[in-house]
Structure formats: C-alpha cells, structure tokens
Copies of this chain bind each other. A is one copy, B any other.
Amino acid sequence: MSSLYEQNPSLLLENSEIAEGFKKIMVYKKFTKGHLLCETGNICDHLYIIISGITRMFYYKENKDITVHFCTEQETASVFESYVKREKSKFNIEALEDVEAMEISFFDIENVLIKNPKFERFGRLFVQQLHLNLIERINDLHFHNAKERYEKLLERKPYLFQRVPLKHLASYLNITPETLSRIRGSK
C-alpha cells in the first residue's frame, strides 16, 4: 500500500521506531463517567486515544446542549482546532462512560516531530484520517433529511444507540429528541 493513501495511520505504528517514539510520550489515564476531558474556554492541550469507554464533544447553544462528535475505542478525542491553533475551545469533551485513554500532550508531539521529521508522515496520515471522517460526516449532514441521517447513523455506528442517551444522538443528528422519537416509532 502506497504512502499517500495508506488510510489507517495505526499501520505505521507497526514500524517499531515510530511506535516507540510515540509510546514514550503517552500517559495512561482513567476518567470516571461525567468527567470533562476538555472544557470550554481552555486550550485543548491533549489528545486522548480511547482504550475503553466513550466520549462526546458538545457545547451550549441558547441553553441547549448540542453534541457534535462521539469518540470510542481506537479513536482520538480532542478539540482539533483548539489544539492546533492554540485558541480557547468552544467545546467540552465529556466521558459518557468510565474512560481509559492514552493521553498525549501537544508539546510532546511537537518535540517528537521536531526531533524526528520522519514521524511527520504519521502526523499527516493521522490528520488525513480525521479529515476523511469529517468529510463523511458533512456529506451525511448536508445531503440527507432527518430520517436518512438517522438510518445512516444506525447503519454506520449502531453501537451508539446502545451506549448513548437518545437526546445526545438527536442533537448529533441535528434534530430534537421528539423528532428522533417519532422517526424511531415509525418503523
């Protein structure tokens, strides 16, 4: 598989040198359900590679709690734009279950990349994968009505419906809990 379209950056971690380089800066962490891994107004200084559990990213709009993203096993939770641009996060990240994760700090990644430019490839693939995921998400939001969005999500991430309160799924789908309930009822 050629470098530009290697989709899964974790493949590169089989290269033990790169794996070791990153493993050195990872810290094992546990968070209890309800804990905020990142809070509005703070700069998101860490990435969290989820080992177990599930998180959601959310914010408040006119007192309504709106979820914009979920992360679960093998995925990486962060407020990317805050992390990269060093600006205050508009979002919170909350543990919806007890969460185990490997934490990596911005500054440590920084140093690894400076010392080992060859790790940049991993960085690119990592960001590329984030980007591909977001393209899929935006295409879903843009091209489909409420019911289609629901069905897509049910097909793609059925586990969310087992693990996450429907109200969060509703706001993630950009609909009200009432509308989600009616969509689900009409089956």
Q: How many copies does the complex hold?
A: 2
Would you call A143 and B66 a contact (CB within 8 A)?
A: yes
Would you call B3 and A114 a contact (CB within 8 A)?
A: yes
Given contacts A84-B7, A106-B4, A174-B142, contact A127 B131 (CB under 8 A): yes
Q: Nearest residue in B to A174 (C-beta to C-beta)?
A: B142
Given contacts A61-B143, A81-B135, A131-B134, contact A3 B110 (CB under 8 A): yes
Q: Which stretch of A118-126, A152-160, A161-169, A179-187 is in the interface?
A: A118-126
- A132-151 CB mask vs B (1 if < 8 Å, else 0) is 10111111011100000000
Instruction: Give chain A's interface residues, CB within 8 Å of chain B.
Output: 2-5, 7, 61, 66, 68, 80-81, 84-86, 106, 109-110, 113-114, 117-118, 120-121, 123-124, 127-128, 130-132, 134-139, 141-143, 174
